Amino acid sequence: MLHGYLSNKESFTYQINFFSRFFRVVAVDMTGFGKSPPMEYPFSLDDYAEEIKRVLDELGAEKADVLAHSFGARVAVRLAGGDDRIDRIVFTGAAGLKPRRKIKYYLKRASFILLKKFVGKERLKSFYSSDYRSLDPIMQKSFIKIVNEHLDGEVGKLKNKCLIICGKKDKETPLGTEKRMKKLLENGKLYVIPSAGHFCFSEYPDEFNAKAFTFLTGNDI
C-alpha cells in the first residue's frame, strides 16, 4: 500500500484491517513521511520506486498487487513500469498526469516570474501551495522534482490490470483526470463513488474495499 503526499500508512487503516484477512498486507511509510526517517537528499520518483523495490526484495515477494493513493499512484506507475513482479493495481485519487491548466494559472505564473525578479522568493510565499510551504528545504526540492514529472506516457505503456476508484467530489485529482487516466490505460477500469472526495477509501471504506477486493481476486469479469 502506497500512501499519498504528506500522509502515511495509517491513512489505510480501514484497508489494512480488511485486506489482512485475505492477503499478506504490507503498508509502508515512504521516506520523509510517517515514522520513516527524513530524507538526506531530495528524493525523485525513481528514488521512491527503488525504495519499494528494496522492500519487495527483502520480503522475497515474487508477485505483488498494489493499492496506491495520490502521490503513491505516481510511485506505483514508475514501479510497475520497471518491475514485472507488480500484478494488479488499484489506483485511488491518482496523481501523475499532466494537468490541464486554466488561463488564470498561466496569468498567475507569469506574474510570479515577473515579480520574483524584483522582490525575491521570500516575499512571494503566498504564490506557493500550502503543501509546499509546509515542507523543509530538502523536501521542497523533492516535491518540485516529483510534481514536474508527467507520467502520461508511462501510464499508456502499463500492461497491468488496473482499477481506478475515485470520488466524484475529489478536488485534488478531479474526476476528469481519472477518466483521462482510464483512457490511457491499456487494461483499466474506473469506478466512481458519487459522494466521496480525495480520500474515498476512508470516507466510504466498505464500498471501496468491496470493489477493490472483487477486482484483486479476479472476480471482476
Q: Domain holding 177: CATH number? A: 3.40.50.1820
Query: Looking at per-residue confidence, does 102 or 110 come out higher?
Result: 102
Residue 147 domain-assigned (yes or no):
yes
Residue 109 domain-assigned (yes or no):
no
Residue 121 domain-assigned (yes or no):
no
pLDDT band for position 208 (cuts 50, 70, 90): very high
Place of cell 477518466: 179
18 is in which domain, residue-wise?
9-98+138-216
Q: What is the dihedral of CA 82, 192, 146, 183, to 10 degrees?
A: 60
The pLDDT of residue 103 is above 50: no
Residue 90 domain-assigned (yes or no):
yes
Query: Looking at per-residue confidence, does 114 or 153 come out higher?
Result: 153
Per the rule left: phi > 0, alpha: psi between -120 and 50, beta: everything else, 118 is: alpha
Residue 112 domain-assigned (yes or no):
no
Give 131-186 pLDDT, tens digit per residue. 667 789 999 999 999 999 999 999 999 999 999 999 999 999 999 999 999 999 99
Residue 165 domain-assigned (yes or no):
yes
Give the percent of the chain with pLDDT over 90: 81
Q: What is the pLDDT of residue 219?
A: 76
The pLDDT of residue 106 is above 50: no
pLDDT band for position 128 (cuts 50, 70, 90): very low
Give the percent of the chain with pLDDT over 70: 84
pTM across the whole model: 0.86
The pLDDT of residue 122 is above 60: no
Task: Give the total number of structural domains in the chain.
Answer: 1
Question: Rounded to 5 degrees, what are φ and ψ at 164?
Answer: -105, 120
Q: What is the pLDDT of residue 132?
A: 66
Q: What is the pLDDT of residue 99?
A: 87
The pLDDT of residue 50 is above 70: yes
Give 69-79 pLDDT, tens digit per residue. 999 999 999 99
Residue 203 domain-assigned (yes or no):
yes
Residue 26 domain-assigned (yes or no):
yes
The pLDDT of residue 42 is above 80: yes
